[in-house]
Chains A and B, each alone.
Chain A
Amino acid sequence: MQSNAALEYDYSLAKKFTFLTILFGILGMLVGTLIAAQMAFPELNYLLGEYGTFSRLRPIHTNTVVFGFTVSGVFATWFYVGQRVLKVSMAESKFLMFIGNLQFWLYFVGALLATISLFFGFSTAKEYAEYEWPFDVVVVLVWVLWGVSMMGLIGIRREKALYISVWYYLACFLGIAMLYLFNNMSIPTYFATEGLGSVWHSVSMYSGTNDALVQWWYGHNAVAFAFTVPIIAMSYYFLPKESGQAIYSYKLSLLSFWGLMFVYLWAGSHHLLWSTVPDWMQTMGSAFSIVLILPSWGSAINMLLTMKGEWNQLTDNPLIKFMVLASTFYMLSTIEGPIQAIKSVNAIAHFTDWIPGHVHDGVLGWVVFMIMAAIFHMAPRMFKRELYSKKMMEQQFWLQTTAVVLYFTSMWIAGITQGMMWRAVDEYGNLMFSFIDTVTVLHPYYTIRAVAGVLYVTGFVMFAYNIYKTMTVGKVLSQEPQFRTPMA
């Protein structure tokens, strides 16, 4: 490793993963919109025979947006932010470049085949862990490769202090590695049945309540380590960099980090309230969920306070708008989650549409907005061109914000209505409504959600178009911008 005047950061991997983020984003959200429409108009289930039913498409939606879109976004930003905050270029190590490219191709081919496999009904039927074991092996390999290039880059760094974003990326790496391995432990049915089953189809190594506990320890922490931790990593880099303001309190960022690590892992049992898991564990899940407000808001407030004295940027830089809205939605969903984890509230909320409502104010408002903002910030640096259209960014912002609001408000109303109707009893204790009564009442809200989906995907396509035009016809920049992203 030598200092060299012409040394530059190598963005080739960041670019490749950016393309995948956009590809999987469009795919995953189109399927999301289709399944939302199917809930409102069931005839749409029969467009493609068995391949087009809600049950076949739902796992495609969830896996594509989580393991396709979000994880690509995490990789894209890591290969950008990692180099910059460690002050070392990937190009300085041929080995790391090779590992990075190998990771990219293995991931790309693996993710495509995995999605196709779900389409053909090749599934373990465990939520967010539907991939059959051969794909789990690919996931593990990709993850190990990421680990090698991450640790390798850290190993050759010039900046000895690890910036807070690196801590979060490391936590994402370690957290997912641990969760994924433990939850996906399974045995091919061929071996479990002495030759009757299949080599390709597997069943979980855990059973009954234990399986449920491991599953939701995994499921909830997938939210923590895929939807929260790396997204915070992004905001701690991109918001200060774009606004030119250092993080409001670095100490608070450290404290929130450890707070989050400590608390998140214990909150998963809030998915199993009123079920057969031990009572103390349910209470612990509720209690830790409420405590989780503190580190979550610690990070969110730190982001908002970073803008202190600079709020004028909110009006004239749409990129800041995306990031501030993302932090605000992060606050919303991290207060909503704890409320849903209170046992008495959960008795109404569980199994209702309020849950997907909560999921999507988080993912659409926070995760996707932050990832898009990161790509908007990186694009002019990666392609050495100005962003194609500021006006289109503004339109996209308002279109998608409207869509998120329509999505979560309709699901709040639908969920609470549903929860109340299911438990309503008359004076003799008989249930007052049958299931179909609720379906009839909920129809308008499902329609609103489907419309929200159409608006949101439209916004995402505008984003993709804006990036495409930036790459191809954006005004060429002679110098890399330092803070504010230039846009036409």
Chain B
Amino acid sequence: MDIRELQGYASFFMTIFLVIMLYGYIIHLYRSEKKGERDYEKYGNIALDDEVTSTPVEDKPASQRDYKEENK
């Protein structure tokens, strides 16, 4: 197998891998909404309510968020 063929196979398997990741991401998005862990649609309001004095949609960095609490 020469380098070209190897590159071809590498590209093929990487594609498969990335496709799985992407589908995994869709499942992740819908599942975490269904479980009530996150509400993605609320982020749409960031564009509508965007005064410098408006209350942020989310005011804690991701590491300190407790989604379950917030969405109760």
A residues sitting closer than 8 Å to B (CB atoms) are 3, 5, 7-9, 83-85, 87-89, 158-161, 163-165, 236-237, 240-241, 244, 246-247, 249-251, 254-255, 258-259, 262, 266, 278, 280-281, 284, 483
Query: Within the complex, which residue of A87, A237, A246, A258 is in contact with B52, where a contact is CB–CB below 8 Å?
Result: A87
Say if the beta carbon of B18 comes within 8 Å of chain A: yes
A-B contact pairs, 25 of them (CB 8 A): A5-B53, A7-B52, A84-B50, A85-B47, A158-B56, A159-B57, A160-B60, A163-B46, A164-B43, A236-B47, A240-B48, A241-B47, A241-B48, A246-B44, A246-B47, A246-B48, A250-B40, A251-B30, A254-B40, A255-B26, A255-B29, A262-B18, A262-B22, A280-B4, A280-B7
Whether A250 pairs with B52 at a CB distance below 8 angstroms is no
Within 8 A of A (CB), among B16-72: 18, 22, 25-26, 29-30, 33, 40-48, 50-54, 56-62
The 8 closest A-B pairs by CB, nearest first: A246-B44, A280-B8, A161-B58, A84-B50, A159-B56, A163-B46, A247-B44, A240-B47
Whether A254 pairs with B56 at a CB distance below 8 angstroms is no
| A85 touching B8 in the complex, CB below 8 Å, given contacts A161-B58, A250-B43 | no
For B64, give the chain A residue with the smallest CB separation: A160
For A85, give the chain B residue with the smallest CB separation: B46
Whether A246 pairs with B45 at a CB distance below 8 angstroms is yes
Min CB–CB distance A93 → chain B (angstroms): 13
User: How many residues of chain B are within 8 Å of chain A by beta carbon?
Assistant: 33
For A3, give the chain B residue with the smallest CB separation: B53
| A87 touching B44 in the complex, CB below 8 Å, given contacts A160-B61, A259-B22, A262-B18 | no
| A247 touching B56 in the complex, CB below 8 Å, given contacts A160-B61, A254-B40, A255-B26 | no
Chain A residues with CB under 8 Å of B43's CB are 161, 163-164, 250
Instruction: Name 16 extra pairs, CB < 8 A, besides A163-B47, A247-B44.
Output: A83-B52, A85-B50, A87-B54, A160-B58, A161-B43, A161-B56, A161-B57, A250-B40, A254-B29, A255-B25, A258-B22, A262-B18, A262-B22, A278-B4, A280-B4, A281-B11
Chain A residues with CB under 8 Å of B42's CB are 250
CA distance A215 to B57 in the complex (A): 42
Query: Within the complex, which residue of B33, B50, B62 is in contact with A87, where a contact is CB–CB below 8 Å?
Result: B50
Chain A residues with CB under 8 Å of B41's CB are 246, 249-251
For B58, give the chain A residue with the smallest CB separation: A161
Which of the listed residues B7, B11, B42, B46 has the most CB atoms from chain A within 10 Å of its own CB? B46
Whether B59 pairs with A160 at a CB distance below 8 angstroms is yes
Min CB–CB distance B50 → chain A (angstroms): 4
CA distance A280 to B15 in the complex (A): 13
Min CB–CB distance A184 → chain B (angstroms): 24
Min CB–CB distance A45 → chain B (angstroms): 44
Chain B residues with CB under 8 Å of A278's CB are 4, 7-8
Which of the listed residues B30, B47, B54 has the most CB atoms from chain A within 10 Å of its own CB? B47
CA distance A3 to B50 in the complex (A): 15
Min CB–CB distance B70 → chain A (angstroms): 12
Min CB–CB distance A239 → chain B (angstroms): 9
For A246, give the chain B residue with the smallest CB separation: B44
Chain A residues with CB under 8 Å of B51's CB are 87
For B4, give the chain A residue with the smallest CB separation: A278
CA distance A237 to B12 in the complex (A): 36
Chain A residues with CB under 8 Å of B29's CB are 251, 254-255
Which of the listed residues B45, B52, B53 has the most CB atoms from chain A within 10 Å of its own CB? B52
CA distance A369 to B48 in the complex (A): 22
CA distance A158 to B7 in the complex (A): 46
